[in-house]
Amino acid sequence: MDIQLNHHLHSFSLSHPKQPPSSTHPHHRTTTVKVYAISGNPQKLIQSGTVVAIVPKEAAAAINDGGYKLLDIRPEWEREKSRVSGSMHVPLFVQDMDNGPLTLLKKWVHFGYIGAWTGQSFTMINPDFLDQVEKMVPDKSTKLLVACGEGLRSMMATSKLHKNGYTNLGWLAGGFNRATDGDFPEVEGPEKLQYATIGGASYYFLKILLLLQAVGKNN
């Protein structure tokens, strides 16, 4: 499913989503972000402008000029690879530590179909997510730019936060995966932001591909 986002040149202007600008406006652009396997409610929040969609290349301006605070909701193992300096962190998903028979079976299936390739752990919704965000950001009128790797988990998080009373929410459209070098001026960690969600066997395939590309350029 595609979500079409109409926005101004400057990110801080995105906080006023009352009426889309005319297509003849000299600074008007349209961005299409593909969204898969997500319920309708978060989509409606974004399409209506209740949650403001901000693409990665405009995120720094939204933070520096628009007053947004960046809330990273990725699990800890993704954030350890790469993170935006000064961003807040509350994971929406945490590792499922239950070792009951049914959960163990699910973990084995997960590892066989997904985990070995992606390196992703078997997770569960963080039951304390909203409480942890409230402790970190008690003022629910604070502008929060919610971000994850690909944009799906952060879309779910914005819906939860909106239901819990947060009124100035932004969504990093497409997630960090769509970021390019320089979109966020200060990044910490051993990997690039756009590669932080990649793990397992796919991580080594990526490294080989990047090496081959580098060799090709040198030749």
Per-position pLDDT tens, the chain of length 219:
455 454 433 344 444 444 444 444 444 444 445 444 444 488 999 999 999 999 999 999 999 999 999 999 999 989 999 999 999 999 999 975 555 665 445 544 444 444 443 445 556 899 999 999 999 999 999 999 999 999 999 999 999 999 999 999 999 999 999 999 999 989 999 999 998 887 544 444 444 554 556 556 666
Residue 78 DSSP SS3: helix
Catalytic residue of the set 148, 155, 161, 193: 148
Residue 148 among the catalytic residues: yes
pLDDT for 197 equals: 81
Which residue is associated with the tokens 């998080």?
A: 157
Q: What is the pLDDT of residue 153?
A: 94
Report the C-alpha gap between 83 and 75 in whole angstroms.
11
pLDDT of residue 198: 75
Tokens of 84: 């935006």
Write the CB contacts of 75 (distance below 8 Å, at least 6 apart in sequence): 91, 93, 94, 95, 121, 123
State the fold for domain 42-217. Oxidized Rhodanese; domain 1 (3.40.250)
- Report the distance separating Cα 93 and Cα 131, nearest Å: 14
Read off the pTM.
0.69
